[in-house]
Homo-oligomer: A and B are copies of this chain.
């Protein structure tokens, strides 16, 4: 029964490397993160890295997948706690904007990810955040609350608006007041999807 000993150790090391990579990529950026330092920080060498992952890019893939999954889960919870679908959509947008304030998400998911791995919409897990937004919009159209727009188009543009807002807020000198303006503007834009004005 001592069969899983090596597999367990390997999973442990994979997790350690991903944890270290999240830290390094978030603080130094992908390009400036040294694989030697990163692996040494958790008591390993680059040997472990190239054995567990394809290459440096492969490690970024793993990190991105993990963070993306966490974000999707958080958005799901926010949406489900809202009293109506429409308010859920708005809450999702706000939550997304606020999440992008976190340096880890901002740097890895919003900046380096697209630059290194290409268009996020083609990431495996298919950008779980977008998926959730689209599902909500589809339901709202069926409810008759939202105009019969193209679901994917609306979802992507809403996400893009939220993303832009997030980057703006993150770079602002006074994030708090800017955050309010951004969320307000997001709601105004989103209301353009409504069948009739509120």
Q: Which residues of A contact B (CB under 8 A)?
A: 29, 31, 111-112, 114-116, 118-119, 121-122, 147, 149-150, 152-154, 156-165, 167-168, 170-171, 178, 181-182, 184-186, 188-194, 196-197
Contact = CB atoms under 8 A, between A and B. Distances in A.
A178 B157 CA distance: 13
A185 B157 contact: yes
A153 B171 contact: no
Per DSSP, are chain A's interface residues mostly helix, strand or loop, or mixed?
Answer: helix
Contacts of A178: 153
Contact of A182 (B153, B188, B191): B153
Contacts of A170: 119
Contact of A147 (B158, B182, B188): B188
A103 to B, nearest CB: 13
- 6 nearest A-B residue pairs (beta carbon): A160-B164, A192-B192, A153-B185, A115-B115, A119-B171, A157-B161
A71 B64 CA distance: 32
Nearest to A93: B157
A122 B152 contact: no
Contacts of A191: 192
Contact of A122 (B112, B158, B171): B171
B164 A181 contact: no
Contact of A121 (B154, B158, B161, B168): B168
18 contacts: A114-B115, A115-B116, A121-B167, A152-B168, A152-B181, A153-B168, A153-B178, A154-B185, A156-B185, A157-B165, A157-B182, A157-B189, A158-B189, A159-B164, A160-B164, A161-B161, A161-B189, A191-B192
Contacts of A112: 115
A6 to B, nearest CB: 36
